[in-house]
Structure 1
Amino acid sequence: MFYPARYDGGVSGNLSTLEPPQELWRRSGRELADEVRTRLEAMWRLDAELGQYLVEIDSRGASKLYGYGSTAAWFAHMARMSRGDAKKYLDRAHGLNPGRNIDGTELPAVAPATGAAALDGEIGPHHSDRILHFLKKVPSFVSEEDRSKAEKILVELARHATPQEVVKAADELLARMDQDGKPPKDPDPPERKPELRVRQRKDGWFDIDGQLDPITGTRLSTILDPLATPRPAGEDKWPDLRSVPERYGEAFGEAIAMLANVPDVPGGDRAQLLVTVTLEDLKSKLGTACLDMVSTITATEARMLACDCQIIPAVLGTKGEPLDLGRAKRLVTPALRKALTIRDGGCAFPGCHRKPRHCDAHHVTMWIHGGLTVLRNLVLLCGAHHRLLHKADWTVRIAEDGLPEFIPPDYVDPLRTPKRNILHRPVAV
């Protein structure tokens, strides 16, 4: 049986200096958070150092050292894990660390900057895996210099961002590197068309299923969402106990009833849609537009919508701030809501992907404390992060560029570095 030497911390590790978790009930909240952060960093360092050992063992040959057919088989037995999990661990180790070929020549690491950050305890395996996956997708015609720059951008982002934000930034970098994308497998892919199947059962009820194109689906959601909101508690104080499918089923019935009551207009009143386009795309007449901050449509589709919908145009600057906002009605609240939707794109809390329809407008300076109901004092937050901001020690402010940024409590980040959500806007690279 192979027994590793006791880890003594050395230069890069701190496990031997960590105090054992005794009498935790005596620790303050700040002390507990600090200990968690210290152990996380030590764990990430150890994980990266373990990868170095695995690469060295693999370069010598597990068969020669231990009699196993492969390093993955030996490590699976050693770590008491599946062969597949051991292979993933070994693949990550080879991606982050240099190795040696059979002839003894050096084999460079796929992601040296990522490996260095992992050894410093600044990023964990969940970040490293996303960056390695991105580097495998970089086209071969991209220069080594550009490839290295892209990796460093993602590593720098990973030091303070979620894996989901790293993936988004990686997708944007890949789109810039390979603007043509992968060639389609089928030269003539079948055209995808909307479908709707309506079947009446013997008991008189109807079964409905199908698929809708983004424009039609957005129109339907625009109509159904307000009708499907939970009913407020009345005098009896009973909450709305309907499930989400039940609420949307009844909302669909209401929409059909309203449509039937509109004479001479089969489609009823036209749905109001929000279409955004960057100032650069507007000037060049190229690119894409965003439909209700959810779906991406082409400029041609946007022009088609203009023939049959009430379009609210909005022009965005380079940082995503509203430069001009058209209004269908002279009502302050809807206009502010549209401006917030354009600026924030959804919940503004770092790493949150929730869309505008699931968000509330939160006053940065509370209204009861003299805060104004203006764009520079409002931010979109989903229910969970709205409650977090009111209950926890997070704070929000509007930066000089007009965008919201959040300051974490010291037990999350001792430096209290302001953070932003990059999931709803292009990553600044």
Structure 2
Amino acid sequence: MSETFLPELPQELWRAGKLELAHGVQQSLRVIRMATAGLGRYLAEVESRGVKDLYGYGRTAAWFADIAGLSVGEAGAVVKRAIALNPSRALDGSEVPAALPATAAVAAEGLVGDERIDQILEILKRLPADTSVEDRANAEKILATLARNAGPRQLADAEANLLALLDPDGDEPKDPEPAEPRREITLERRKDGFWKLTGLLDDETGARTAAALEAYAQPRPVDEFGQADLRMKCERMGDAWVDLLDLAIACPDQPGASGYRTLVNVTIGLEELKSGLGTACLDFVGTMTAREARLAACDCLMLPVVLNAAGEPLDVGRLRRFVTPGQRRALNIRDGGCAFPGCHRKPKNCHAHHIHHWADGGPTDLRNLVLLCGFHHRLIHHGDWEVRMAADGLPEFIPPQYRDPLRHPRRNTLHHA
């Protein structure tokens, strides 16, 4: 604790640069978490000695609620974590080990907050009742190690894997009740360029649609720097619809596309495509920015028609830019999903990104391709992150300086054990 301190705030915070702001938030968060872990050790000791003998209260939570100005429920949650993370003493004075020793070690370093600790506690509660002490301890170590850099979704995925390992039979499946189909869909283009989608679905189809959308509309996991997904649910549902549409269009049996991700013709000037500045014409009915066209052209979500300065077509959808089925299979095996550090998205939800863009002369081969989900594909094109191919032939990512002043390369270790 003594080695970690808050940086001195500038007198006028608005003068601080983005690196100073980011580092201040990160350091403050770690100090808060370490202080919370220290508070937990005090509360665990009070609980071990007996709060009734010490202060005359019936429960530690009631005493702590009074001195902290909290409700008993709020104080109870803090005390519950403290008891789980710290050792106690039995009636004979012997030490009783902590229930979550690995999680306690991570919490003491300031690397995990209350939310992840509570999630680990809940996950361990849901393990099968006949789980051995050794297996339970190993599960806690796995979750604590993962919690250093993981968000809620990644811990939930780990829970599913643990339950599949410890309880492979699962619960008894329930037969769905049949319902009479009734389905209506209306799609119309508004004057402002947006499309309005309305519909009416029967119970079964509605449930299937909701399940599919909910699966893809989950908030993105909190990344290793604690950045959360700030999209509203309606926005996440809209993005989920795009993911499902991409999957349907990429299907080899889909009529008219043969499994290619070609959607529409996009007309754009060569200079705009190279620079990412300006606009492109979308099937002669609307526009998109040149930066969006550059991003989409990575995996050929469109058929580009590139024009020279005089407006003459230079290229109409060069097929060599398409990632071949063989290349895509090799990418799926090599990357195992989105290659961005900490991302859980599977290959079917990913685009093939050109590290050196084809518009700048980059080839379409495995040494120049990497799988990225839609969110991280956009981040690489529009953010300060960089991606490169390491000497061992695997992609690695360079964070912006405000995230890591030394810009250490990072990799995604979730897809390959």
Superposition TM-score, scaled by structure 1 size: 0.59
Could you tell me how far 1:180 is from its partner in structure 2?
Answer: 4.1
Distance in 1, matches of 2:410 and 2:8, equals: 31
- Residue equivalent to 1:40: 29
CA 1:64/1:214 → structure 2, altered by over 3 Å: closer, same or farther? Answer: same
- Residue equivalent to 2:398: 407
| Aligned counterparts, 1:111-190, within 5 A | 111-139=100-128, 141-181=130-170, 184=172, 190=174
Distance in 2, matches of 1:151 and 1:384, equals: 31
Task: Classify the secondary structure of the residue corresponding to 1:65.
Answer: helix
* 2:86 paired residue among 97, 103, 112: 97
Distance in 2, matches of 1:207 and 1:391, equals: 37
- Residue equivalent to 1:362: 353
Where structure 2 has 5 or more consecutive residues not aligned to the other structure, the ranges are 185-197, 214-243, 256-262, 266-280, 289-319
Give the partner amino acid of 2:372.
Answer: L
- Residue equivalent to 1:378: 369
- Residue equivalent to 1:396: 387
Distance in 2, matches of 1:341 and 1:421, equals: 14
CA 1:357/1:139 → structure 2, altered by over 3 Å: closer, same or farther? Answer: closer
Task: Classify the secondary structure of the residue corresponding to 2:202.
Answer: strand
| Cα pair 1:164 1:351 within 8 Å, conserved | no
Could you tell me how far 1:364 is from its partner in structure 2?
Answer: 1.3
Could you tell me how far 1:110 is from its partner in structure 2?
Answer: 0.8
Distance in 2, matches of 1:147 and 1:236, equals: 59
Distance in 1, matches of 2:384 and 2:72, equals: 44
Distance in 1, matches of 2:336 and 2:360, equals: 27
Could you tell me how far 1:360 is from its partner in structure 2?
Answer: 3.8
- Residue equivalent to 2:230: none
Could you tell me how far 1:141 is from its partner in structure 2?
Answer: 4.9
Deviations 1:112-133 (A, max 9, x none): 1211221122333333333333
Could you tell me how far 1:197 is from its partner in structure 2?
Answer: 2.9
Deviations 1:12-47 (A, max 9, x none): x644x6424532334333233222222222111101
Distance in 2, matches of 1:107 and 1:177, equals: 26
CA 1:403/1:154 → structure 2, altered by over 3 Å: closer, same or farther? Answer: farther
| Cα pair 1:44 1:121 within 8 Å, conserved | yes
Could you tell me how far 1:415 is from its partner in structure 2?
Answer: 5.1
Could you tell me how far 1:150 is from its partner in structure 2?
Answer: 3.6
CA 1:405/1:375 → structure 2, altered by over 3 Å: closer, same or farther? Answer: same
Distance in 1, matches of 2:16 and 2:321, equals: 53
Could you tell me how far 1:97 is from its partner in structure 2?
Answer: 0.6
Give the partner amino acid of 1:375.
Answer: L
CA 1:18/1:207 → structure 2, altered by over 3 Å: closer, same or farther? Answer: closer
1:191 aligned onto 2:175:
yes
Distance in 1, matches of 2:139 and 2:391, equals: 28
* 1:77 paired residue among 55, 58, 66: 66
| Aligned counterparts, 1:277-426, within 5 A | 332-333=322-323, 335=325, 336-337=327-328, 340=331, 344=335, 347-352=338-343, 359-398=350-389, 403-414=394-405, 416-421=407-412, 425=415
CA 1:375/1:209 → structure 2, altered by over 3 Å: closer, same or farther? Answer: farther
Task: Classify the secondary structure of the residue corresponding to 1:197.
Answer: coil
* Percent of aligned pairs with the same amino acid: 48
Distance in 2, matches of 1:230 and 1:60, equals: 71
- Residue equivalent to 1:278: none
1:210 aligned onto 2:203:
yes
- Residue equivalent to 2:223: none
| Cα pair 1:131 1:170 within 8 Å, conserved | no
Could you tell me how far 1:175 is from its partner in structure 2?
Answer: 2.7
CA 1:76/1:138 → structure 2, altered by over 3 Å: closer, same or farther? Answer: same
CA 1:142/1:359 → structure 2, altered by over 3 Å: closer, same or farther? Answer: closer
> Which range moved further: 384-393 or 334-343?
334-343
Give the partner amino acid of 2:365.
Answer: V
Distance in 2, matches of 1:31 and 1:386, equals: 27
Task: Classify the secondary structure of the residue corresponding to 1:49.
Answer: helix
> Which range moved further: 373-382 or 337-346?
337-346
RMSD: 4.2
Distance in 2, matches of 1:141 and 1:206, equals: 47
CA 1:371/1:331 → structure 2, altered by over 3 Å: closer, same or farther? Answer: closer
| Cα pair 1:349 1:385 within 8 Å, conserved | yes
CA 1:374/1:199 → structure 2, altered by over 3 Å: closer, same or farther? Answer: closer
Give the partner amino acid of 2:55.
Answer: Y
Number of residue equivalences? 314
CA 1:334/1:214 → structure 2, altered by over 3 Å: closer, same or farther? Answer: farther
| Aligned counterparts, 1:223-234, within 5 A | 233=282
- Residue equivalent to 1:49: 38
Could you tell me how far 1:154 is from its partner in structure 2?
Answer: 3.1
Task: Classify the secondary structure of the residue corresponding to 1:379.
Answer: strand
